[in-house]
Amino acid sequence: MNIPLKQYWDLLATHIKSQRVQFAVLTCLLLGSIGLQIINPQIVRGFIDTASGDVESDTEVMPLLYAALAFIGIALVQQGIAVGATYMGENVAWTATNALRSELVRHCLRLDMSFHNETSPGELIERIDGDVTQLSTFFSQLTIRVVGNLLLLVGILIALAREDWRMSLAFTSFAALTLFVLNQVRSISVPYQKARRQASAELFGFLEEQLAGTEDVRSSGAVDFVLRGLYRLQYALFQHERNSSQMNWLIASISGLFLMLGNAIAFVAAYWLHHKGTITVGTVYLIIHYFNMLARPIRELTWQVESLQTVGASVERLTELKAVTPHLHDGPGAAIPAGPLSVQFEAVSFAYQADSYRADRNRGDRNRADRNRGDQPDSQDIDFSPDLSHSPNVPVLQDISFYLEPGKVLGLLGRTGSGKTTLARLLFRLYDPTIGHICLENVDLRTPTLDVLRRRVAMVTQDVQLFQASVRDNLTFFDATIPDTRVLEAIETLSLSDWYEALPAGLDTQIEAGGRSLSAGEAQLLAFTRVFLQNPGLVILDEASSRLDPATEQHIERAVNTLLKDRTAIIIAHRLATVERADKVLILADGRIIEFGARATLARDPASHFYHLLQTGLEEVLV
């Protein structure tokens, strides 16, 4: 597996080019450091040759003193410049890779839900942080250890040519042969490193999943099962670590063999030239010292070759991640009117399509080229589903048609798996209908941009996503343009002043990760305020109060009444009592509409399904 160096550069080119000034400073520092490293041995050579003669008077000693002082001064300056170059190299690389992290996060957030359903958070963390860190480490040392040492190598060979052309020719041939061999072997470890990085990602994904479900694991007695899974993944990682280490050892051994050969060439050549009287003792030192300097760039380049294997695997994985393209794209940019929105489904059918991302990854490199050309995988080759509750290519919604007037409330009923959640996902354009059209206020959902659409549609679920940040940031979704006065007005409008006053630090109250510092009711209140600040025209409620105690539920019911005023709403109901506020009721079964109409009319019609549910109280059919 041979990864072109251009592929390494392409990942960071945009972010590095913006730092041209820093690069210019770094180049000057590198050239200055290399020049001083080459000059200092010349001073020592002169010192040795002078000291080898008869030094009797103070006048003859002074040049030795000056040479010693010059050597020490140049060495100190060179070390200072080297520190500055290292700092600049690290700063440029980390600035570029931090920008790459942001780019990858934005890219992943724009990918379809099918990608996120089949990719664990732990694996994404390992790619966006772990793989990019590997890349950052490499690039932070690329200019210092690779470019710098290559320039030092050239400088040493030029200096040797000034001393003796035969010596320069010998060492030039040696360096060219060594670098050629190292370049040939640099890619043999990439498959092993890639497997190691993938095993590490799987381990992190497993840990993230199990730690998130600690309570369920312990309560169900599955601790031993989790430990076996952890052992299995750790053992797999150990095997890949061992294989990659063996490949790195092979590369280091080849480098060591060539350095030993170079040492022999240096000693024999220096002895032969000195024996013939061609060079002085000081020049012998110069040749041996220059070879040791020559060996250092080769050792450093070898180390970078080993690093290149690890980075090569990371580069390939990051390139694959960037190559994943969303199937949903922004519309041309139609506007969605302000105010409550009408909702219209026109002969909508939908099936979760098997996504090509995991299929290609499972089938390996054989199909990667097809994916890059945009070819679609054959459905019979795919054995996974992007949504665990549905099989791919099997219709989840079939021929759904209804119209909800602006400002009205729709109660959506149906068993688990009937398609209620899928219908809500389509309204956010997390997926597009397989057949048919969905319109908000006569605007097809495919025509506005995704950002515009999702600002006009909001959803509150039972499980509110909270961040480890202040109440203010959780309410505004980190939008600093929303003033505190508007946030406080929203809290007052929703009659949540009592809740707000109970916060120890007001809007600055810090919320723990996952909202552990809040009760379920407080989390729901926060979610309602968040939606109110967004001011959508359509609100979807996924039975937000179904798990709350009666007192808290009454508090939230008052907030819901305010939230739904002058807005269209769809309530995914798990209990019949919830649809009492609905103007219309829609009942789904097996992805089809079995009943739709005004709630009051259906409640009086003995032939309706809704009437039957009200009379028998069979709420369990809804869950």
For residue range 552-598, what is the model confidence (pLDDT) as tens digits?
A: 667 777 788 888 889 999 998 877 777 888 999 999 998 999 999 99
The residue behind tokens 């009117």 is 337
The count of C-alpha atoms lying within 13 angstroms of the C-alpha of 461, restricted to the half-sphere facing its C-beta, is: 8
Across 236-240, 357-361, 618-622, which has the greatest mean pLDDT?
Answer: 236-240
Instruction: Measure the CA–CA gap between 260 and 572, rounded to whole angstroms.
Output: 75
Q: Is residue 329 in a domain?
A: no
Of 181, 194, 96, 87, which Cα lies nearest the Cα of 141?
87
If asked whether residues 280 and 195 sit together in one domain, one would say yes
Do residues 306 and 246 lie in contact, with contact meaning Cβ atoms separated by under 8 Å? Answer: no
Q: How confident is the model at residue 65 (pLDDT cuts 50, 70, 90)?
A: confident
The residue behind tokens 């302000």 is 338
The distance of Cα 395 from the centroid of its chain, to the nearest Å, equals 32
What digits encode the pLDDT tens for the residues 477-488?
A: 888 889 999 999
Lowest-confidence pick of 104-118, 374-388, 457-471, 582-596: 374-388
Q: Is residue 311 in a domain?
A: yes
Q: Is residue 213 in a domain?
A: yes
If asked whether residues 157 and 263 sit together in one domain, one would say yes
Would you give the end-to-end CA distance of the chain in angstroms? 52
Across 2-16, 259-273, 386-400, 590-604, which has the greatest mean pLDDT?
Answer: 590-604
Across 2-6, 84-88, 165-169, which has the greatest mean pLDDT?
Answer: 84-88
Q: How confident is the model at residue 5 (pLDDT cuts 50, 70, 90)?
A: low
If asked whether residues 319 and 372 sit together in one domain, one would say no
Of 293, 309, 395, which Cα lies nearest the Cα of 350?
395
If asked whether residues 319 and 347 sit together in one domain, one would say no
Domain end, chosen from 291, 323, 355, is at: 323
Instruction: Kindly tell me if the per-residue pLDDT of 168 is higher than 80.
Output: no
If asked whether residues 85 and 163 sit together in one domain, one would say yes
Q: Is residue 328 in a domain?
A: no
**Strands 584-589, 568-572: parallel, antiparallel or unpaired by DSSP?**
unpaired
If asked whether residues 487 and 604 sit together in one domain, one would say yes
If asked whether residues 299 and 366 sit together in one domain, one would say no
pLDDT value of residue 368:
38
Q: How confident is the model at residue 371 (pLDDT cuts 50, 70, 90)?
A: very low
Do residues 426 and 438 lie in contact, with contact meaning Cβ atoms separated by under 8 Å? Answer: yes
Buried b (16+ CB within 10 A) or exposed e, 532-544: bbbebbbbbbbbb
More confidently predicted of 170 and 454: 454
For the question of whether the overall pTM of this predicted structure is more than 0.85, the answer is no
If asked whether residues 253 and 370 sit together in one domain, one would say no
CA distances from 212 to 117, 122, 411, 544 (A): 16, 11, 32, 22
User: What is the Cα Rg of the chain in Å?
Assistant: 35
Instruction: Measure the CA–CA gap between 42 and 283, rounded to whole angstroms.
Output: 9
**Mean pLDDT score of the chain, rounded to an integer?**
79
More confidently predicted of 472 and 352: 472
Q: Quote the domain boundaries for residue 441.
A: 343-622
Q: How confident is the model at residue 259 (pLDDT cuts 50, 70, 90)?
A: confident
pLDDT value of residue 57:
55
pLDDT value of residue 359:
45
Do residues 171 and 157 lie in contact, with contact meaning Cβ atoms separated by under 8 Å? Answer: yes
pLDDT value of residue 379:
30
Q: Is residue 330 in a domain?
A: no
Of 188, 139, 146, 106, which Cα lies nearest the Cα of 11?
139
More confidently predicted of 37 and 593: 593
What digits encode the pLDDT tens for the residues 454-494?
A: 899 998 887 788 888 888 998 898 888 899 999 998 888 88
Range 208-234 average pLDDT? 83
Instruction: Kindly tell me if the per-residue pLDDT of 17 is higher than 80.
Output: no
What digits encode the pLDDT tens for the residues 314-350?
A: 778 888 888 888 888 888 888 999 899 999 999 999 9
- Longest Cα separation, the chain: 126
Instruction: Kindly tell me if the per-residue pLDDT of 509 is higher than 70.
Output: yes
Instruction: Kindly tell me if the per-residue pLDDT of 364 is higher than 50.
Output: no
DSSP characters for 295-354? HHHHHHHHHHHHHHHHHHHHHHHHHHHHH---S----S-----SSS--EEEEEEEEE-PP
pLDDT value of residue 387:
39
Instruction: Kindly tell me if the per-residue pLDDT of 308 is higher than 70.
Output: no
Percentage of the chain beyond pLDDT 70 is 81
Q: Is residue 412 in a domain?
A: yes
Amino acid at 207: L
Instruction: Kindly tell me if the per-residue pLDDT of 427 is higher than 50.
Output: yes
Domain end, chosen from 266, 292, 323, is at: 323
Percentage of the chain beyond pLDDT 90 is 17
If asked whether residues 110 and 184 sit together in one domain, one would say yes
Q: What angle do CA 132, 138, 141 make, to 5 degrees?
A: 135
Do residues 563 and 528 lie in contact, with contact meaning Cβ atoms separated by under 8 Å? Answer: yes
pLDDT value of residue 1:
45
If asked whether residues 186 and 240 sit together in one domain, one would say yes
Q: Is residue 363 in a domain?
A: yes
pLDDT value of residue 142:
62
CATH number of the domain within which 472 lies:
3.40.50.300
For the chain, what is the domain count?
Answer: 2
If asked whether residues 88 and 172 sit together in one domain, one would say yes
More confidently predicted of 608 and 519: 608
CA distances from 547 to 459, 467, 468, 475, 576 (A): 17, 21, 23, 22, 14
Of 366, 260, 322, 414, which Cα lies nearest the Cα of 12?
322
CATH number of the domain within which 140 lies:
1.20.1560.10
DSSP characters for 82-96? HHHHHHHHHHHHHHH
**How much helix, strand and coil, in percent to the nearest 5, is found in the chain?**
65, 10, 25
Q: Is residue 150 in a domain?
A: yes
What digits encode the pLDDT tens for the residues 291-306?
A: 777 777 776 766 666 5
If asked whether residues 524 and 588 sit together in one domain, one would say yes
Residues forming beta bridges with residue 584, ordered by sequence position: 410, 598
